[in-house]
Amino acid sequence: MEVTPDLFSSFNYFETLFHNTVQNMVLLIDKEGSIVTVNEAFTNYFGYESKDIVGKNLAVLFTEEDQKNGMPEKELHNVLSKGQASDNNYLVSKDKSITWVSGESVLVENQDGKVSILKIIQNIHKQKLSEISLKNLNEFNENILSSIEDVVIVLDRHLNIVKANNAFSSLFRHTGPDIQRLNFADLIKPYDEFEELQSNIQNAITSKKGFSNSLIEMEIISGEKKIFDISCSSMPETDWESHALLVIHDITIHKQVEREREDVIGFVAHELRNPLANLVLCNEIMGDALKENNAEELNEMLQRSKNNVSRLNKMIAELYDATRVNSGNLKLDITLFNFGDMIREAIDTVEVLQPSYNIAVKGDGDLEIAGDRYRLIQVITNYLGNGIKYSNGQTEVILTISHDSKSVSVSVKDEGLGISAQQLPHIFERFFRAEKTKNLEGIGLGLYLCRQIIHAHNGKVWAESEEGKGSTFYFSIPR
Amino acid sequence: MKKILVINNDIDTMSLLKNWLEKKSYTVKYTGNEEEVPAIMEDFSPHLVIADVMQHELVERLKKNKKTRSIPVLLMTGYTLRQTINRLPGDDIIEKPFNLALFEKKIERLIQKVVTINAAN
C-alpha cells in the first residue's frame, strides 16, 4: 500500500495526539489481542506502568464477568472482521477499581503490511453514573407513584391526562399508553353534574391555587358506587406548561361508618322519643283528669308516667353500658363468689319487678366461681326479663344450673312466643329485637350486652327456640 | 263518630292515644299485631290510620291495596332526619314527642279531607 505524502506528513500530528492527549487513552493491540503499546493518558488513569501491561492480552483490562462472557474475544473478532468496533463497557484499573468507558477500535496497517488494532477509549464514568442514578431516581419515583393506593393524575391545562399511576386503572376502564389521550373532564362528566369539579380544576390551574376535600361519587369498573375525596394542586411550570396534580382518595368506608353512626343515632333517638311521647300524652290526660276531679285516672296516669320515666332511664343506662362494652372498655371486676347465691340475688331482683311471674330453679349452684358478680347478675336478670317478656301469658320461667369440672352453664327456658328460625341467629346482635316483641321495653341492646359480658369471661352464649312453643337462652363460662 | 285505627308496637303509646283520642270524641281501636290489620280495616273501616314509622312496610301495603288506599295514614316518628321522611308512604307525619295541638289539627285535617273526597264520589 502506498502511503500518501499528506498522511505521511501528518504522522507527527498523530504521534503528538498519541502521546500528549489527556482525555483520550490509546492502545495498540496486535491481531492476537496482545497489547503492543499504550499512551500516557492510559497509564496515568488506569495506574499501570507500561511494562505491567505491554505484551498482556487485552482481557486483563476486562472485568471477570465480561471475561466469562467472552467480551474481549468478541471485541477482537468484531474489529478484525468489520474493520471497526465500538462498545461501552467497564475496564479494570491496576487497583481493581472499575471505570465505565466508551471505546472505539479500528484496524490499522503499517508500511510492512502488519495489521494492528488501534483502540481509543474515553472515560465516561461520570456520565454513566449520573445516567444510572437518573434511571434509579426515575424508577424510584415510578415505584412511589405506583405503590400509592390513591389515584394520582397529572393534567395539562386542557385537562388532558399527562400521567397517571397504576391505581388509575382500577378506577377507570383504561390502561397503558391509552390513558395519555384521555381528557379528565370527559371521564368524570357522568358524575360531575354541574361541571363543578371540572371548573374547579381549571381554576386551580389558572390561579395556581389548589383545593382539597372535593367529594364525588363515582361508579368504578366493578360497578360499585364509591365516594372519593379529590384534592388538586397546581404543579411548578415545566416547558411553559401549567399542570395540575390530582389525588383521588377513596373514602367510601369512612362515609359508611359515618352513615352507620347517623343511623344508630337516629334509631336511638326514635326509641328514646317513644316513652317521651307517652309522657306527653300522660301529662295531657292528667291535666284533663285534674279538671274533672278524676282521682282514679289521675292516679293511673301518674303510675304510667312513672313507668315511662323508668323505661327511659333503663334505655339510657343500657345505651351507656353498650357504648362502653362496644368500645372495648368492659373491664371485669373479678372476685370469688358462690354461684348459687349470685343466681338467687338475680332472681330476687327480677321478682321485685315482676311479682306475678314464677321463676323455678333447677340444678345445683353450690360452687365457687371466679367472675364479675355484678355483670353476671346483669346477664341473668336480662335472660329472665327476656323469658318474661316473651312469655305471652305463661307465668313460669325455668332457670337451670349445670356444671362439670371445666365449666358452669345456665339456661333460662320460657314457654312463650318463641323466635323464628330466621331471627334466631341474630338475637345477640346490636339493636336486634324480634318484630313481635318490639313493644315493651329496652332498646335492643340487652342480649348484645349479655354476649359481650360472657365473651369477656371467655364463655359463650346461645339460644334455642321454637315459634309458638318457647325459647331457651344459655350461657356457659369456664370454672 | 269518626273512627281511628292506631297501629304501633308500643302498647303504652297505643292505650294512651286511645284514652286521649276518645276524649276528643273519636272511636279508637288499636293493634300491635300487623297480621290482624287487614281484618280490622274491613270490619272497623276506620276514617284514619295512625301508625308508627317503624310500620312503614305495612303502610305501604295499605297504600297499594285498592280497598284501603283512600284511607289517610298519619305516621308517627321519632326520627328527625328529613331524608328518611321524604321516602315515607303516609299522608302526613307527626314527630315524637307529640305537640298535641298540632297532632289534633293533623288528625282533623286528614279526616276532613277524606270526608270531602268521599262526598265528591
Asked whether the beta carbons of A381 and A349 are under 8 A apart, the reply is yes
B36 touches chain A (CB under 8 A): no
Asked whether the beta carbons of A91 and A101 are under 8 A apart, the reply is yes
A292 touches chain B (CB under 8 A): no
B33·A280 Cβ contact <8 A: no
> Which residues lie closer than 8 Å to A210 by C-beta, 6 or more apart?
A204, A231, A232, A233, A234, A244
Q: How far is CA A270 from the centre of its chain?
A: 35
In this structure, the number of other CB atoms found within 10 A of the CB of residue A33 comes to 17
A312 touches chain B (CB under 8 A): no
Q: Which of B101, B96, B84, B100 is nearest to B51 (CA)?
A: B96
Which residue on chain B is closest to A301 by alpha carbon? B16
A276·B97 Cβ contact <8 A: yes
pLDDT at A303: 92
B78·A270 Cβ contact <8 A: yes
Please report, as a single letter, which amino acid is at residue A208.
K
Q: Where does the pLDDT of residue A351 fall: very low under 50, low under 70, confident under 90, or very high at 90 and above?
A: confident
Which residue on chain B is closest to A441 by alpha carbon? B10
What is the mean predicted confidence (pLDDT) over A299-328? 82
* Residues in chain A within 8 Å Cβ distance of B81: 262, 266
* Residues in chain B within 8 Å Cβ distance of A258: none
Name which of A262, A277, A304 is nearest B98 (Cβ-Cβ). A277
Please report, as a single letter, which amino acid is at residue A38.
V
pLDDT surpasses 50 at A439: no
Q: Where does the pLDDT of residue A8 fall: very low under 50, low under 70, confident under 90, or very high at 90 and above?
A: low
A281·B11 Cβ contact <8 A: no
Asked whether the beta carbons of A308 and A281 are under 8 A apart, the reply is no
B76·A277 Cβ contact <8 A: yes
B79 touches chain A (CB under 8 A): yes
b (16+ CB within 10 A) / e for A340-374 = bebbebbbebbeeebeebebeeeeebeeebebbbe
* Residues in chain A within 8 Å Cβ distance of B53: 270
Range of A309-313, A409-413, A431-435 with top mean pLDDT = A409-413
A279·B32 Cβ contact <8 A: no
What is the mean predicted confidence (pLDDT) over A55-83? 90
The DSSP annotation for A27-84 comes to EEEETTSBEEEE-HHHHHHH---HHHHTTSBGGGGS-HHHHHTTHHHHHHHHHHHHSE
pLDDT surpasses 80 at A74: yes
The DSSP annotation for A218-267 comes to EE-TTS-EEEEEEEEEEEEEETTEEEEEEEEEE-HHHHHHHHHHHHHHHH
What is the mean predicted confidence (pLDDT) over B51-75? 90
* Residues in chain B within 8 Å Cβ distance of A287: none
E-only strand ranges, A372-425: 396-403, 407-414
Range with lowest mean pLDDT among A59-73, A124-138, A237-251, A427-441: A427-441
Residue found by looking up cell 279538671 in the block: A291
* Residues in chain B within 8 Å Cβ distance of A278: 10, 12-13, 16
pLDDT at B83: 46
By the 10 Å C-beta count (0-12 exposed, 13-18 middle, 19+ buried), B5 is classed as: buried
Q: Where does the pLDDT of residue B117 fall: very low under 50, low under 70, confident under 90, or very high at 90 and above?
A: low
Name which of A262, A285, A440 is nearest B20 (Cβ-Cβ). A285
* Residues in chain B within 8 Å Cβ distance of A435: 9
What is the mean predicted confidence (pLDDT) over B86-107? 88
Residue found by looking up cell 283528669 in the block: A289
B16 touches chain A (CB under 8 A): yes
Which of A262, A280, A290 has the highest number of chain B CBs within 10 A, making it the mutation to test binding with B? A280
A307·B12 Cβ contact <8 A: yes
Which residue on chain B is closest to A265 by alpha carbon? B79
How many residue pairs from chains A and B have C-beta atoms closer than 8 A? Answer: 70
A278·B9 Cβ contact <8 A: no
Which of B14, B17, B19, B107 has the highest number of chain A CBs within 10 A, making it the mutation to test binding with A? B19
Q: Where does the pLDDT of residue A433 fall: very low under 50, low under 70, confident under 90, or very high at 90 and above?
A: low
pLDDT at A380: 93
Which residue on chain B is closest to A264 by alpha carbon? B79
What is the mean predicted confidence (pLDDT) over A22-36? 89
Query: Quick one: DSSP state of residue A293?
Result: T
Residues 428-447 of A with CB under 8 A from B: 435-436, 438-440
Estimate the crossing angle of helix A295-326 against helix A252-291, to 10 degrees. 160
A266 touches chain B (CB under 8 A): yes
- Give dist(CA A428, CA A451) in Å, integer: 7
Which residue on chain B is closest to A287 by alpha carbon? B20
Range with lowest mean pLDDT among A269-283, A286-300, B15-29, B75-89: B75-89
- Give dist(CA A179, CA A163) in Å, integer: 8
Rounded to a whole number of angstroms, the distance from the CA of A432 to the nearest CA of chain B is 14
B35 touches chain A (CB under 8 A): no
A108 touches chain B (CB under 8 A): no
* Residues in chain A within 8 Å Cβ distance of B33: 436
At B67-93, the pLDDT tens digits run: 999 999 999 988 765 545 556 788 988
- Give dist(CA A173, CA A202) in Å, integer: 23
B57 touches chain A (CB under 8 A): no
**ipTM of the complex, rounded to two decimals:** 0.86
pLDDT at A328: 63
A438·B16 Cβ contact <8 A: no
What is the mean predicted confidence (pLDDT) over A145-172? 88
What is the mean predicted confidence (pLDDT) over A349-369? 84
Classify B93 as helix, strand or coil.
strand
